[in-house]
Structure formats: C-alpha cells, structure tokens
Structure 1
Amino acid sequence: MGIEYLGQPLLFLIDTLFSLYVFALLLRFLLQLVEADFYNPVSQFLVKITHPLLRPLRRVLPSVGRVDSASIALVFIVQILAGYLIFTLQGLALNPVALSVWALLQILDMLFNLYIYGILVVALLSWFATATYNPAIKLLHGLMDPVLDFFRGLIPAIGGVDLSPMAAFVALQVLKMLITPPLQQLLVVLG
C-alpha cells in the first residue's frame, strides 16, 4: 500500500477539512459585517471554532471599521496552506503568486456559491410557513437580506410576487462568469 493508494482519499480529506474551515471563517467575517446576532447558536459555534486562530492574528491586524482584517487574512492563509498541501501531494509546485491566485479563485467561488445557493434557499423557504424559530435560517436571512434589499429597491414586487431573488441570482451568476474566467486564465499563465 503506497502513497498512490492513499493519495486520493488524503487529498479529499485535506480539501474537505480546509474548505470547511475556510467556509466557517468566511461566514464569521460576513456575519460580523452584516452585524448578525452574536448570541445565535450558529454564530457562537463559528466564534468558538475560529477564535483560537484569529486571536493571535488580531493582535497584528486590527479591524478597520466593521471589516475584520484578521478574518480576511486568515481566510487567505488557510486557503493558501490548503493549496500548498494539495499541490505538493500531487507532485506539483506552484509559485507563490500562482498559489495566491488559486486561493483567491477558491475563496471567490465559495463566496459566490454561498450567496447563490443562500438566495435560492431563502426564496424556497419563503413559499413555506416558517412558524418555528430556526437559528440557522435567521442567520441566512441576515446574510441574504442586504443583497435582496438592494434588488428590491431596483425591482418592485409585481402582483405581490417578489422578483428580487431571481434578479439577485442572475446578477450573481453573471458576476461570477465575469470575474472567475480572467483569474483562471491568469492562473494558467502563472502556473
């Protein structure tokens, strides 16, 4: 049983664990940015799992207004570390600039997917009566409402139907299509 046999499962585990942690850091950053309920159980969970690595970084990188610089920096550091491990295990070596572009692509992809699928879930949930309190849904609304409110200001409800989720969904998809291909081409050139 050689490293080749263990390679794919190990790559999968590294990618999954690092992606989950980057997602938690990104969520913490976004929830802080939209001033979501800090005492929500989901928020508390995110704080507990991200605080050990953020605490020392905050001594060096203070927040700028509502923007938590340490969280953003840690998102990039963890994603770059994940890329380094993944590419090293595959026998590839990316230069630091290419690795940084790869990390940025991964983070942007995660961010776009978070909002695209989040808006889809919020739209689907609006069709059902949500009489029970769910802390995750409350936070999801806290994250998606600023984006949806922007589109509600542009597109009023027609006949009682809110078209803002569809407009936001389409706009985010178009934005993703405009931003990621040039970065992917840059990555090919760099690496």
Structure 2
Amino acid sequence: MYSDPFTMLVKVICNLYLFIVLLRLVLQLTRADFYNPISQGVVRATSPLILPLRKIIPAIGRLDTASLVLAFAVQLLTVALVVLIKGVSLSPAGYAIYTIAGTFYHLLDLYFWAMLISVILSWVAPGASHPGAMLVGQITAPLYRACQRVIPTLGGLDLSPIFIFLTISFLKQILGPYSL
C-alpha cells in the first residue's frame, strides 16, 4: 500500500488527530451530548489547540470556525510533511487543493464509518444505551432526517442509509485523488 513506512507513520498520526478534530467539529454541529465520556475525551484532546484559536477566530452560528481552521491546519501539516518526505514540489495552489479536498475527504470518511456503525448497531443492538452508540446516533441523525425528507420509508424499510452511502462514496471518489 505505502512504499515508505515513515510516510505511512506520519499520515496515520496526522490523520488520527485530524479525525479527532473533525469529530469535535461534527459533535458541535450536531449538538451531540457534551457530557458523553467520548465527547469529553475529544474535547480534552483538542482543547489545547482550539481554545487559543477561539480567542482569534469567532464562531459563525453553530459552526465552530476554530475547529475548522485547526482541521485545515492539521491537513496542511500532513500535506507539507508528505511533500517534504517524498522530496517533491507543490505549488501554493496545490497545497490549498490538497488541504481543502483532503479535509473534506476525511470528513466524509468520518461520516461513512459513523453510518456503518449506525447500521450495524440498528441490527445488533437497536436502542443501545452505550455512550458510543448514543454518540453515533446523534451524529448520524441529521443525515437520516435530511435523506428521509426526500426518500420516505417503504413499509417500515428505511432506504436512507443506502442513498447516504452512495452519496458519500460518490463524493469520496471525486475527492480521492486529492486526499493523503
């Protein structure tokens, strides 16, 4: 998969932190339970970098722009480190494209996995009260509601996850060449 183990290690570490930052952004957008233990862990992991940014960058409505800026900064750092390790050159426009597209690719990836977990939980443990299950439900509920406005359930069968997966997969195919 990767020709250079050091590059893979840098990508894994940076993308893991990017995932945590994006999770914080999504948790705030969906107004998920702040007192959930997983939410508290995400807040603790991201607060040292987000709190100073909040003093400079105000929120726009429900959108925590400090989290978004941090996500772009982490992705830019990932791109810069990979470019440095590989020894290739990239124009400023290239950095911008890889940063923006890569961040949105990873956001789609986060939603893909949340949807997958949600679907599996609906089969295995519907209505589970585990903090992780409740958090996944709170993250995916807005997607389900938006899709169900367009595609109604058919005799108790909810087809919205299929269309959400198709949409996420389509968008990931478009952004895939620009993700690291």
Q: How does 1:110-129 map onto structure 2 within 5 Å?
A: 110-129=106-125
Partner of 2:26: 30
Unaligned 5+ segments in structure 2 are none
The 1:128–1:10 alpha-carbon spacing in structure 2 relative to 1, beyond 3 Å, is same
Partner of 1:74: 70
Q: Name the amino acid aligned to 2:151.
A: I
What TM-score comes out, normalization by structure 2 length?
A: 0.89
What TM-score comes out, normalization by structure 1 length?
A: 0.84
Whether 1:154 aligns to 2:126 is no
The whole-number CA distance in structure 2 between the counterparts of 1:132 and 1:146 is 18
The 1:115–1:80 alpha-carbon spacing in structure 2 relative to 1, beyond 3 Å, is same
Whether 1:142 aligns to 2:138 is yes
Following TM superposition, the consecutive aligned residue runs of length 4 or more in structure 1 with deviations greater than 4 angstroms are: none
- Number of aligned residues: 177
Partner of 1:180: 175
Q: Which has the larger radius of gyration?
A: 1
Task: Tell me the secondary structure at the aligned position of residue 126 of structure 1.
Answer: helix
Partner of 2:84: 88
- Quote the sequence identity (%): 36
The whole-number CA distance in structure 2 between the counterparts of 1:123 and 1:82 is 31
Residue 65 of structure 1 and its aligned partner are, at CA, apart by 1.2
Deviation digits for residues 102-123 of structure 1 (CA, Å, limit 9, x no counterpart):
1122112111122223222212
Residue 32 of structure 1 and its aligned partner are, at CA, apart by 0.3
Unaligned 5+ segments in structure 1 are 1-6
- Among 9, 25, 28, which residue is 2:5 paired with? 9
Whether 1:133 aligns to 2:129 is yes
The whole-number CA distance in structure 1 between the counterparts of 2:138 and 2:161 is 14
Whether 1:163 aligns to 2:159 is yes
The whole-number CA distance in structure 1 between the counterparts of 2:143 and 2:77 is 31
Whether 1:49 aligns to 2:52 is no
